[in-house]
Structure 1
Amino acid sequence: MNGRRGDAGEPLLLGVRHHGPGSARAVRAVLEQARPGAVLIEGPPEADALIPLAAEEDMRPPVALLAHAVDEPGRSAFWPLAEFSPEWVAIRWALEHKVPARFIDLPAAHTLARADDDGAEPDGPRIDPLGLLAETAGYDDAERWWEDAVEHRGAGKEDAVAPFTALEEAMTVLREEYGSGGHERDLLREAHMRLRIREARRESEDGVAVVCGAWHVPALRRGTTVAADRALLKGLPKVKTDLTWVPWTHRRLSRRSGYGAGIDSPGWYGHLFAAPDRPVERWLTKVAGLLRAEDRIVSPAHVIEAVRLAETLAALRGRPLPGLGETTDAVRAVMCEGSDVPLALVHDRLVVGDVLGEVPAAAPAVPLQRDLARTQRRLRLRPEAGERELELDLRKETDAERGRLLHRLRLLGIGWGEPATARVGTGTFRETWRLRWDPELSVRVAEAGVWGTTVPAAATAKAESDAIGARGLAEVTGLAEHCLLAGLPDALPTVMRILADRAALDTDVGHLAQALPALVRSLRYGDVRGTDTAALAEVAAGLAARIFVGLPPACAALDADAAEEMRGHVDAVHGAVALLGDAPAHGHGRLRARWQSVLRTLSARDTVPGVIRGRSVRLLLDDGELTRDAAARLMGLVLSPGTPPADAAAWIEGFVGGSSGGGLLLVHDERLLGLVDAWLTGVPAEAFTDVLPLLRRTFSEYETGVRRTLGELVRRGPGAHGGTAAGAPGFDPGLDTARADAVLPVVRLLLGPDGDDDEGVRGAHTGVTG
């Protein structure tokens, strides 16, 4: 009899949908009715020893079996289980009734060994069995068909096997039509399942129940010989593997992983499984609570109306009960007033959700994982599935330790936290992180376990290895910065030795200029983190000195692209020197003074591209080493008719281009704006098209308000094109009475009743604008 264990002792085959709450309820009902002597479950048999952990109090789904190759931890696979997964229900039932439970799928040792075997992949697209059944039943949505056929179907004990019998009959037809469905690996898995089922039947007098994907049931029912199944499995490659339980999330259940299961709405399915009765009413009440927590006005009347609408929609659509589609439409219309914005929040928080499971401390783990877990508990830094921001004040010891831990994990490739821009303050004692724990990070921890048994030891070994294998100087300086941030003093000697060697051998000024900013940033951490940065300061000063010597010749005869890249290096070095302050540079004077001398050299050499010369003049002007009169004189020389228009345009790009605040400089210095305006209007027509792209790039990066002000100044002739304005910079010397009168109502409102006479207001306004 299909689906049932007959008199001949046939196995009870329960074909399910992975993560299907309807299947999970039906599995429990059948197991309670049949009381088998053993429960066999689709999953890697190496995990049999881990099954008892499912009964621990601190084991809370969603969880997953993680298998990884011992010698290559990055090669891994997951088998996720939720509270509403039929496999999890079967495991729990077996443990509660002290019935043996075993996994019977193809061993993970073979699965991981075949991960890179192209021959194991399907020759064509794999069919979607549920999609085909839904299409046959007249549905255009497999999820909706599954809800109507299984999730909304109530089954009593007398017909508990009926859903499995119907699914087996349907899958049998599909297997006869499509064979393996385009996935040859299923034939191997099913051969191994049949062998394990035979073993269990010999050992159990009370029969066995098998919980597996419905797609496999016809193949497990089909009579084959032991020799044929063993022949299929003979010679399969395998690798040594380790398995454990790891936390999983509802959000990750929506991805295909492990045995290929994936669902779109794990939060909704979890609700259907957990709700004892009236699931629609309970769901809409939960939605109302979420929206109220987000300050939206949702009353009990909204819930009642939404329930009525969902039931009406279900009746109109011919569905036995409202499903996710009907409840979503009701929420949109009644609680969200037709807006999809709050509806997106409902989908993210409830339909999918960020539930994070837990596994017991007794679960196998690499030493690094155990050390990380102890550190997380000590620092009260609990892993969470949802993204959250963490503000750290590094002057506090606990926050400083948290920051070091996150930096160490990043160095190990474990991206639990990502640095973010602080919302307040810019001091080096503040750090802002975005934290989000993804289940895949468990694999990264296993991979990093080869570097050490504790987080500090592993990060130190990884930093030393990366420094030895680094290809460029910038990589080594970046590692030095990471070592300081992560608090790895034992790694610094190796990194600094390699840094000094690379810096001494590298003659490329561009490489040196890329390396200096990271070193200088690292020097700033000493005050707050208590790190000795003396050796770093020595290397940084030596690096700066070599840049000062090599930069002028390196800037000669560059093409446009190389000149733009070198302009970026000049900016980076300028910022680094500003942070270094007045540190001595090997007895060759003060760094700042020497750098300003380099900038003067760059600004005066005709062989240096215009973009670098213009940038050098601007940096000297900003530092107060060049007066505005001198800057205007240099600009006037560059913009004279004897300079090729393309070179003049490049000079302007370097002087006022990009995000350097050049727009405001032109707004508040009419002499410079007048020079640019006069030059631009005098560019010959045949050269204008050549300089236009560069000028467009220069001025398009200004803020909208700056561009508007510049347009107004040019329209009315700022400072008589080069003359000195009699009024404030950027404004005509005379008062525009028409524009002044336009603001009188606002000024009157600001001054209040005591200043409510026109003469007083006009006088006050004149004082403001004069």
Structure 2
Amino acid sequence: MSGSDGGEVGATGGEPLLLGVRHHGPGSARAVRAALDAARPRVVLIEGPPEADALIPLAADADMRPPVALLGHAVDEPGRSAFWPLAEFSPEWVALRWALEQDVPARFIDLPATHSLAWGRDTGADEADEAEADAAEAAEAETDTGDGSDGSEGIEEADGAGRIDVRVDPLAVLAETAGYDDPERWWEDVVEHRGGGTGDVFGPFLALEEAMGALRETYGHGGHDKDLVREAYMRLQVRAAQREFRAGVAVVCGAWHVPALRRKASVAADRALLKGLPKVKADMTWVPWTHRRLSRVSGYGAGIDSPGWYGHLFAAPDRPIERWMTKVAGLLRKEDRLVSSAHVIEAVRLAETLAAMRGRPLAGLSETTDAVRAVMCEGSDVPLSLVHDRLVVGDVLGEVPQGAPAVPLQRDLDRAQRRLRLKPEALERELELDLRKEIDAGRSRLLHRLRLLGVAWGEPVASRGSTGTFRETWRLRWEPELAVRVAEAGVWGTTVLAAATAKAEADAVGAPSLADVTALAERCLLAELPDALPVVMQVLADRAALDADVGHLAQALPALVRSLRYGDVRGTDTHALTEVAEGLAERIFVGLPPACAGLDADAAEQIRRHVDAVHGAVGLLGDAAVAAGPAVASPATASPAAASPAMDGTERGAPPLRVRWHSVLRVLCGRESVPGVIRGRAVRLLLDDGELGQDEAARLMGLVLSPGTPPADAAAWIEGFVGGGAGGGMLLVHDERLLGLVDAWLTGVPADAFTDVLPLLRRSFSAYEAGVRRTLGELVRRGPGERAGGGPIGSGAGLPGFATGLDTARADAVLPVVRLLLGLDGVPGHRDADDNDLAGVGG
């Protein structure tokens, strides 16, 4: 048999056996195996980076399960990387396995990764471009190598100089010539659905070579100059193999490259194309890959839309449609859909009928999809989308043997994954962790440390059914690109713990704001990095001491106080964190009142949010300080002035921080220079904490809503008091005096000022639940200032569902049940003599 130029095609002749393929094509893979079995070459040359030659023996390892990928990365810049993915149905993988099984040498002959990874770098890019242009001009008379993609896919790609190169799509052109409107369907009919018969095994390759040669003659090389360089390198490698093995050289490469490898070109011209190429030090390894990632254009430049379907065609050459429909039925049954054997039979018949009507040799993906939709999914695309996601694309994740080269950090991560029984999976899943269990606590530490390193294997999500700090929920999904992130993180250390510690320390020093440092401290506690925490805390203390912006301090305190909660479950020492948090709170207490003066509306709203955040943080911080005991109290906290009550109504023994915070709130609610939204919120917080009586709150509201206060200021005060989603609606529902004051003020707002205050009021009341708004409307609608029972608003008479006074007998009857629910049954001092009978009734 002869090639397009009359050369010998068989591997036993003088010319190499050029097997042009479509990357990740099961038909091409079967044809390659048949051709290699027939030709029995002495060496197999494969398109791929030559640095991976040492990794080829691992392809025969029992623990190697495709899909996998060759990962090449620059040693000094791990983020500069590239993948060469291989599936079980990839022709290159089949060629590798054949060579290993037959004990035949196999080599990669594409442009080395040391050049391809450096391609497009700013350093030396101009010189490389000039060298390529000169070499291409010198070689133009000797070789007619057009441009093309790595496989048969059309690609649009930007080169290092920022130019956009558009390559012709060979499949689209050939399909259009054959009368097809879908290139994928044409390829399936011509190649993928061909059986592995015993006919002319070289015929398909000769036909593809002739077609690609015609396309290259027509379209020339109007695309990527990089392909000219790659093909020059591959020609040099083929010549070297011919000199070493004489005859018997087989080459497996993208079909587009075959005409360029077949045509003659001088060694000098090819070497001229390679002169002056940029370089980086590169390293190679095997990494797991997924079917889903095969659908992307990467490495070989050939993405496929249906890797799961192609994998099925390769694994089931006999009766593929029947086997596919059985798979679909099994998947749908797992999702509790009623699919019987009769459905499978009818779906197969329909797919075959559609193929016959459309003139196809075998039912393809479109026919099987239409049949599944009509028969098994009852015309619905909802279950069909599940079939497409799980089977047509698939979530198969490959495996790589432990002996594959890897950075030390990757090996430590592998050990941790095995120890914690946390296997990477391509399918997204949720993982519930109970931090009281040692194995779950270890999983949490690992995931938090990886997040610090930028390896986003898991994403924390809100736990369902529990708000305790002992429970965490993670959404896990392993992506092949995470192997690159692990390689990048390897610069920080050889173990996950050491790398996360070093990264946290570096991030603390370079953090742009105080809030970022506090967030980092929280992440260090979650990841349990005891060596990093002192460094982070020192940076935090230094930043807090120098930052005079109360807004920055108020942003930092909540995250810092939240971190204290993790000490209980995780057993982390948070004494230093408590001291810094208390010092931060003290500075907020001092600086907040002056910072609230002279603010516009937007700044006042921002400070109001800070006040809410600090209020919650002080409550948690006070509890943490009391629980920790005097040993963790800061000197400022332990001062006699701080320990004494600061206001009327404060109970003895209350946490000093909370006492001083209440003093700050009293100052805010009494200063006329403080914006109304902040004063109203201060009154509301004091009222909620029991530090302000109902009568005093009503008096302050009455003063603000008096005719002498501008309507805009009064509306802002109301917004601060009842707005912000803090339960203000229910407060008005149950406190008739406050509702009466708001109602009387609102009805007395002048018409010319009403349009100014309306946006503020709408913002406040629109945050209430529908039921609360409806109840308020009913209360106000019952006459101006009158209740259903005849009393005015605020009198307490006639409120539906409520009596005029407290029914103590009915209230006392509930106490025994409440004690049982709270676990106070049998606790001395918590039960009266006649509670036993009531408790029995309640039980």
Task: List per-residue Cα deviations over 1:422-465 (Å, max 9, x = no partner).
Answer: 11221111111111111111011101111111111111111111
Q: Secondary structure at the match of 1:418?
A: strand
Task: List per-residue Cα deviations over 1:353-399 (Å, max 9, x = no partner).
Answer: 11110001110001111011011111111111111111111111111
| Counterparts of 1:560 and 1:633, CA distance in 2 | 25
Q: Secondary structure at the match of 1:453?
A: coil
Contact 2:328 2:387 in 1 (8 A): yes
Question: What is the aligned counterpart of 2:265 among 224, 233, 239?
Answer: 224
Q: Equivalent residue for 1:136?
A: 177
Question: What is the aligned counterpart of 1:400 among 441, 449, 460?
Answer: 441
Residue 374 to residue 559, structure 1, CA distance change in 2 (3 Å): same
How far off is 1:215 after superposition? 1.5
Task: List per-residue Cα deviations over 1:118-172 (Å, max 9, x = no partner).
Answer: 5466544233222222233333322222212211122523222222222222222
Matched, 1:645 2:716: no
Q: Equivalent residue for 1:726?
A: 797
Q: Which amino acid aligns with 2:572?
A: T
How far off is 1:28 after superposition? 0.7
Q: Equivalent residue for 1:30?
A: 35
Contact 1:667 1:730 in 2 (8 A): no
Contact 1:673 1:718 in 2 (8 A): no
TM-score by length of 1: 0.92
Contact 1:668 1:730 in 2 (8 A): no
Contact 2:425 2:477 in 1 (8 A): yes
Contact 1:180 1:186 in 2 (8 A): no
1:256-271 mapped onto 2 (5 Å cutoff) = 256-271=297-312
| Counterparts of 1:361 and 1:120, CA distance in 2 | 40
Task: List per-residue Cα deviations over 1:610-641 (Å, max 9, x = no partner).
Answer: 22222212211221222333333323332333
Residue 114 to residue 685, structure 1, CA distance change in 2 (3 Å): farther
Q: Equivalent residue for 2:572?
A: 531
Q: Which amino acid aligns with 1:127?
A: V
Contact 2:45 2:252 in 1 (8 A): yes
Q: Secondary structure at the match of 2:45?
A: strand
Moved more, 204-213 or 15-24: 204-213
Q: Equivalent residue for 1:626?
A: 692
Contact 1:719 1:725 in 2 (8 A): no
Contact 1:467 1:476 in 2 (8 A): yes
Question: What is the aligned counterpart of 1:320 among 351, 355, 361?
Answer: 361
Q: Equivalent residue for 2:809?
A: none
| Counterparts of 2:768 and 2:752, CA distance in 1 | 27
Q: Secondary structure at the match of 1:113?
A: coil
How far off is 1:55 after superposition? 0.2
| Counterparts of 1:659 and 1:256, CA distance in 2 | 48
| Counterparts of 1:121 and 1:444, CA distance in 2 | 26
Q: Equivalent residue for 2:228?
A: 187
Q: Which amino acid aligns with 1:607?
A: S
Contact 2:555 2:610 in 1 (8 A): yes
Question: What is the aligned counterpart of 1:591 among 646, 649, 657?
Answer: 657
How far off is 1:539 after superposition? 0.8
Q: Equivalent residue for 1:108?
A: 113
Contact 1:672 1:722 in 2 (8 A): no
Q: Equivalent residue for 2:411?
A: 370
How far off is 1:725 after superposition? 3.6
Matched, 1:659 2:725: yes
Matched, 1:200 2:271: no
| Counterparts of 2:701 and 2:212, CA distance in 1 | 81
Question: What is the aligned counterpart of 1:602 among 637, 656, 668?
Answer: 668
Contact 2:13 2:247 in 1 (8 A): no
| Counterparts of 1:677 and 1:731, CA distance in 2 | 21
| Counterparts of 2:427 and 2:532, CA distance in 1 | 33
Matched, 1:9 2:14: yes
Contact 1:254 1:265 in 2 (8 A): yes
Contact 1:11 1:208 in 2 (8 A): yes
In structure 1, stretches of 5+ residues that fail to align are 734-770
Q: Which amino acid aligns with 1:9?
A: G
In structure 2, stretches of 5+ residues that fail to align are 123-158, 626-632, 644-655, 787-791, 805-843
TM-score by length of 2: 0.84
Q: Secondary structure at the match of 1:621?
A: helix
Q: Equivalent residue for 1:87?
A: 92
Matched, 1:350 2:391: yes
**Identity score, percent:** 80
Question: What is the aligned counterpart of 1:307 among 348, 361, 368?
Answer: 348
Task: List per-residue Cα deviations over 1:546-572 (Å, max 9, x = no partner).
Answer: 100001111111122222221221111
Question: What is the aligned counterpart of 2:69 among 52, 64, 69?
Answer: 64
How far off is 1:730 after superposition? 8.3
Residue 556 to residue 455, structure 1, CA distance change in 2 (3 Å): same
Contact 2:120 2:160 in 1 (8 A): no
How far off is 1:283 after superposition? 0.7
Matched, 1:685 2:751: yes
| Counterparts of 1:259 and 1:152, CA distance in 2 | 23
Contact 2:13 2:248 in 1 (8 A): no
Q: Equivalent residue for 1:552?
A: 593
Q: Secondary structure at the match of 2:454?
A: coil
Q: How many residues align?
A: 733
Contact 1:670 1:729 in 2 (8 A): no
Residue 672 to residue 231, structure 1, CA distance change in 2 (3 Å): same
Q: Equivalent residue for 1:563?
A: 604
Q: Secondary structure at the match of 1:78?
A: strand
Contact 1:416 1:438 in 2 (8 A): yes
Q: Which amino acid aligns with 1:72?
A: E
Q: Secondary structure at the match of 1:551?
A: helix
Q: Equivalent residue for 1:20?
A: 25
Contact 2:435 2:470 in 1 (8 A): yes
Residue 305 to residue 458, structure 1, CA distance change in 2 (3 Å): same
Q: Secondary structure at the match of 1:259?
A: coil
